[in-house]
Amino acid sequence: MSTRVPPDRARLDRPALVALLLGLAGVGYRLVLTLLTVPAANSDEATFGLAAMHIAAGREHPVFLYGQHYMGMVESYLAAPLVALAGPGWPVLRLPLVALYALFLWLSYRLSRRLYRPWFATFTVGLLALGTERVVRDQLTVVGGRPEGKPMVLAILLIAVGLAQRRGRWRRPGWRRAAAGLAGWCAGAALWSDWLLAPYLAVACLLLLYAARRELRGWPGLLLVAGFAVGVAPLVWDNLVAPPGADSWSVLRQLSAGTGPTPPLVDRVRGGLLTGVPLATGLCPVTGCARRQEWFGVLYPALLVAAAGLALVGYRRTAGRPTAARVRPVAQLALLAGAALTLLSYVRSPPAATDPLANARYLAVLQISLPAVLWPLWLAAVACWRGTVGMVGRLVGAGATAVLAGLTATALVATGLFLTALDAPRADQRRARELADAVRRTGLREVYGDYWTCNRLIFDTGERVVCAVLDGQLTPGQNRYRPYWRQVERAERPGYVLPVDSPAERRLRGLLGDRADPARLVEVAGYRVYHPASAVRPWR
C-alpha cells in the first residue's frame, strides 16, 4: 500500500515552516500594536467606526464613506459584528484588519512559492512581517481600500495560476467553479472598495482570461460574471442613483485634477521614487527619508525592467508548450505591470510632489509586487553563492547579495526605531480618551468642534456626545454625517470643544467677550470646553 502523502495534505517543509514562524511573528507584532491602538486613531478612521456602529444597529447600510462617493465600506461591514458584540472601541474596530493582514501574508507566500522558489517566498514573508509606522498604518488603520484589496488581488492571481496548472484539488470541477465565482467576487468587491486597485485588478483579470480561457467556458464563466456582479453591485447601484456630478467617476476626476498648476514631472518622479517607494516599502520613518534610505527608490525602476526581462525570457523558453507551463512568466509580468501602472499613475498626480510624505500611502499596494521586484536580486545572489557563473556573474551576484542584505537591515532598523517611539501615539490616544471622559463628565450631549476632534470624540464616547464640525471662523466645516450636524443645530445650548489658542477658540472668545471665562467649563488634553448661556452661531 502506498504511503505517499497527497499534495494538498503534504506536511510543512523547512521553507514553509520558517515562513509560518515569520508570519506568526508579523501577525503577533500587529496584534500587539492593535491592542495598544498604535498608530493613533483620527477622525477619518472614526468615521468608519461610526459607520460600523450604525451597520451593527441596523440604522444605516452605507455604500461609500460618509461624505464621499469613492471609498467603499468593506472594513466597516467586517467590523460591524464585533462592534455589535463588544461595543465600539479601537482594537475591536481594527481586529478584522489583523486577519486581513494574515490572509495577505499567506496568499503572498503561496503565490511567491508558485511563481518562484520556496526559500525566496520565505524571505518575502520575512520582509513583509516587518513594518514601520507608514507600513502598519496602511495595514492596521481602518481608512478603506488597501487592507482588503491586496489579498483580493492576490486571490485572483492565485486562482488564475491554479486554474491553468490544474494540480491537486484544482482538477475537481466543483473546486474550479467555486474558484471562478470567488475570483469574480474579489474583482468586483475590490473595485467597489478602492479605485486605487484598478491597475492591479486589470492585470489580474487579464491573467485570469489568459490562463483559464478554456476553463471559464460554461458554468465557471457564468459564476465568474455572477461573482463580479455581486461584488460590484453596491458601487453600480450608488452611482445609478447619485445626483449629477456626485457619482464616483466625477468625484475622482475632480480629486485627480487638483487645484493650482501641476508641479514639474521631475518633482513628481522624485517624490514618487525617492520618498514614496522607500516609505511604502518600510525603509523610512513616517517623518521622511534620509539620503541613505532613498537608494531603493532609485533602484526600483531598474529592478522592474530586469524582472520583466527575466519573465520575457522565461516566456520565450516555453514557446509552443501548454498554458500550464507558460502561466508562471505571464503571472510574473502581471505583477510587474501592476506595480509599473500604479507607480505611473501616482507620479502623474500633483500630490506626489506637493506632499509626498502624506500621499505615500497610495503606494502601499506595491507590496503585492515585492516578490516580483526582488526576484532578479535573489536569482543573481543564489547563482553567485552556488558558483554557477563566471567572474562577472559573481560580481553581480555579490552586489545583489549586498542589496538584499541592505534592504533587510534597513527595514529591520526602521522597524526597531518605530518600536522605540511608541510613546507619542500612545500619549495622543490617551489625550483623546481624557478629552472624551472630560466632555462626558460635563453632561454635554451636543457640541461643536473642529474636524480632527469631532468624529473621534463621537466614537470615543459611543455617540453619547454628538459633535458638529466648524472651521476656524466658526462656520460650518466638513460634516461627513449630516444627522450629527442637524442634531447639534437643534440644540438650544450646545457646547464647544476647541484646541487651546486655536483660531476657532480665539474667534469664540471674541464673540463671547466678557462672557468667555464664565462659559469655560474645563481645560484638558490641550482643549477647552465651553458652554455659553446661549448658542453662538455666527453663520446664521
Distance, CA of 293 to CA of 124 (rounded, Å): 20
Q: Give yes or no for residue 490 having a pLDDT over 90.
A: yes
Label residue 476 exposed, middle or buried (CB < 10 Å: 0-12, 13-18, 19+).
middle
Label residue 37 exposed, middle or buried (CB < 10 Å: 0-12, 13-18, 19+).
buried
Amino acid at 324: A
Q: Give yes or no for residue 201 having a pLDDT over 50.
A: yes
The chain-wide mean pLDDT, for the chain, equals 93
Distance, CA of 96 to CA of 148 (rounded, Å): 10
Distance, CA of 151 to CA of 111 (rounded, Å): 11
* Planar angle of CA 149, 151, 153, nearest 5 degrees: 70
State the pLDDT confidence band at 1, using cuts at 50, 70 and 90: very low
β-partners of residue 447 are 467, 495
Q: What are the E-state strand segments in 55-127?
A: none
CB atoms under 10 Å from CB of 171, counted, come to: 9
Distance, CA of 443 to CA of 439 (rounded, Å): 7
Distance, CA of 194 to CA of 143 (rounded, Å): 10
Phi, psi of 470 (to 5 degrees): -120, 155
Residue 252, pLDDT score? 75
Domain boundaries, the chain: 14-251+263-420, 425-530
Using one digit for the tens of pLDDT, what is the confidence trace for 347-363? 998 989 999 999 999 99
Distance, CA of 315 to CA of 105 (rounded, Å): 27
How are the residues of the chain apportioned to helix, strand and coil, as percentages rounded to the nearest 5?
A: 70, 5, 25
Using one digit for the tens of pLDDT, what is the confidence trace for 101-143? 999 999 999 999 999 999 999 999 999 999 999 999 999 999 9
Residue position matching grid coordinates 511573528: 25
173-193 vs 74-86: helix crossing angle, rounded to 10: 90
Q: What percent of the chain has pLDDT over 90?
A: 81
Using one digit for the tens of pLDDT, what is the confidence trace for 521-538? 999 999 999 999 999 999
Q: Is residue 39 reached through a cis peptide bond, with omega within 30 degrees of 0 on the bond before it?
A: yes
Distance, CA of 496 to CA of 468 (rounded, Å): 9
Residues in contact with 120: Cβ distance below 8 Å, sequence separation at least 6, in sequence order: 112, 371, 374, 375, 378
Using one digit for the tens of pLDDT, what is the confidence trace for 217-271? 888 899 999 999 999 999 999 888 888 877 787 777 776 665 668 899 999 999 9
Query: What does pTM read for this prediction?
Result: 0.94
What does the block give as the cell for 190?
475590490
What is the mean predicted confidence (pLDDT) over 381-408? 90
Among residues 363, 341, 364, 419, which one has the least CA distance to residue 132?
419
What is the SS3 string spanning 110-149?
HHHHHHCCHHHHHHHHHHHHCCCHHHHHHHHCCCCCHHHH
β-partners of residue 497 are 449, 529
Least confident of 19-23, 60-64, 166-170, 296-300: 166-170
Please measure the distance between the N-terminal and C-terminal CA atoms of the chain and give it in whole angstroms: 87
118-129 vs 14-36: helix crossing angle, rounded to 10: 10
Among residues 346, 365, 336, which one has the least CA distance to residue 207?
336
β-partners of residue 67 are none
Using one digit for the tens of pLDDT, what is the confidence trace for 12-22? 899 999 999 99
CB atoms under 10 Å from CB of 238, counted, come to: 18
